[in-house]
Amino acid sequence: MEENKTYWFDVGPVSAIPLRGARTVKTPRREIAVFRTASNDVFALENRCPHKGGPLSEGIVHGHKVACPLHNLIIDLETGMAAGDAGCARKFPVKIERGHVYLDMGVAASA
């Protein structure tokens, strides 16, 4: 079994992601939403609500949560878990260095 390797991709400056908003990154396998909270914390989830497939990047960010724009289901940005046991959005490792957001594309490219 092959081990996942870490490949950090520069998504851009933190300031390019709106406060309490998101920016999307398209990969060959999926679209990833990179969120920035009011307190400048950054999280990345697959841009798909686990309940009805809504685009999470278009949802309202409040605290460390996002509300799906289709039906207001609340998703935890830290874990990807949906409220009420409605599933889980896949989360991806991110880091911030020198004011830029980096996404682990090794994880993003895996199944």
Structural domain span for residue 84: 8-109
The whole-number mean pLDDT for each consecutive block of 10 residues of the chain, a chain of 111 residues, reads: 71 96 92 96 96 93 96 95 89 96 80 56
CATH at residue 28: 2.102.10.10
1 in any annotated domain: no
3 in any annotated domain: no
15 in any annotated domain: yes
| Tokens 């896949």 sit on residue | 90
User: How many distinct structural domains can be found in the chain?
Assistant: 1
2 in any annotated domain: no
Give the pLDDT score at 2.
47
3-state secondary structure the chain: CCCCCCCEEEEEEHHHCCCCEEEEEECCCCEEEEEECCCCCEEEEECCCCCCCCCHHHCEEECCEEECCCCCCEEECCCCEEHHHCCECCEECEEEECCEEEEEHHHHHCC
